[in-house]
Structure 1
């Protein structure tokens, strides 16, 4: 089976608001106030918890690698408590997922969000059952851009890892697909959308309605 594997944060859903709130909870504990701004720092949020802590501490002149490591579990706990307050699925995302499944493709998720948090978020959004696989940052001993999580997501979705495609929003996703020897499609509607063309993916995606056609062009018809 041919498969389409999606990144989660910044690709299927805009999770930046809840991530930033969790980071700011850490900064408040440090007496720094709300360092990150929900509109200005969306791109930073979608690079992960440690990146948010690093940027916030650097911005306030308080960077310390030990503080980042110490507060990362605090951030994850804060995030788990409010994982879907501001998060929204991108327009057309689930309709595209449905169209791909209807066409016969296996569909899964490969994310660098911890698996339990990804599971909780997808359940909360009511879309977990739409995906045949979920591989998170800690599912395996390695994470993206190592290609093995992508390959495992394809296998768990019932597919051939060599006949898959990764939909993402970052250089991490582009490098993961390249390492796996498969095509990538990068979305342009996220915070870093203007930077995606420079990464030279096999295709750019401006709207989810176009994804099924791109998939068929890049990896062939599901039954082919």
Structure 2
């Protein structure tokens, strides 16, 4: 294995509370009060700003008000950018695992559907940007995940090759992205969807970062065997 590429939100870090807060700030500004719950709506937070705004508008009976969603979206990004690390935390053991990979000569990168500028700001503020050899965001290229191009570019930038790379993620978007590039995918089970990601049939499942190396070894061995069959 030459490179391991990580998704960011819901995979490396739990950003849901700050994301939900940004969406609720928009609804407060509209004069309707908070519409999203930081716990119950965490999975929606990881689907992006427009998904959160859409859910809130549905609860207001305004699901078809696409113009308002588009008006609020830049306000959401602005609020989020100003408070991006207020409550965000890395998942337990995540950075230790990245350090271990680097010590073994494995290249690591981030491929996220968070806008690149926000991703760079978050990782820098949390003191972890220098641990990753590359970061590709939603707007770095003309396309985003599950299109395989951002993942392929991340692998290229870290000096890897798809044949010896793995994507670590938490959603169907990551699963499809890895599949589209033809590389194995490991999905974490400690995100808001929990063990439900098992239904996406990834090559591997990760319940804690202390097991990352063991899971990667199993996945690469199995993927190589399947490819040679």
Normalising by the smaller structure, the TM-score range is over 0.9
Secondary structure at the aligned position of 1:196 is classed as: helix
Q: Which residue of 2 aligns with 1:204?
A: 205
Q: How far is the alpha carbon of 1:140 from its aligned partner?
A: 0.4
Q: How many residues align?
A: 220
Could you list the runs of 4 or more consecutive aligned residues of structure 1 that deviate by over 3 angstroms after TM superposition? none
Q: How far is the alpha carbon of 1:161 from its aligned partner?
A: 2.6
Q: Any conservation in 1 of the 2:108–2:158 contact (CA below 8 Å)?
A: yes
1:19-98 matched pairs, under 5 angstroms: 19-63=19-63, 64-98=65-99
Q: How far is the alpha carbon of 1:158 from its aligned partner?
A: 1.1
Following the alignment from structure 1 to structure 2, what is the Cα–Cα distance between the partners of residues 195 and 50? 23
Secondary structure at the aligned position of 1:142 is classed as: coil
Q: How far is the alpha carbon of 1:160 from its aligned partner?
A: 0.9
Q: Which residue of 2 aligns with 1:168?
A: 169
> For 1:107-133, what per-residue CA distance to the aligned partner results, in whole angstroms no more than 9, with x for missing partners?
000000000000000001100000001
Q: How far is the alpha carbon of 1:190 from its aligned partner?
A: 0.7
Following the alignment from structure 1 to structure 2, what is the Cα–Cα distance between the partners of residues 167 and 126? 21
Q: How far is the alpha carbon of 1:217 from its aligned partner?
A: 2.9
Q: RMSD between aligned alpha carbons? A: 1.0
**What TM-score do you get using the length of structure 2 for normalisation?**
0.94
Q: How far is the alpha carbon of 1:166 from its aligned partner?
A: 0.4
| Structure 2 spans left out of the alignment, 5+ residues | 222-229
Q: How far is the alpha carbon of 1:218 from its aligned partner?
A: 2.5
Q: Any conservation in 1 of the 2:50–2:73 contact (CA below 8 Å)?
A: yes
Q: Which residue of 1 aligns with 2:193?
A: 192
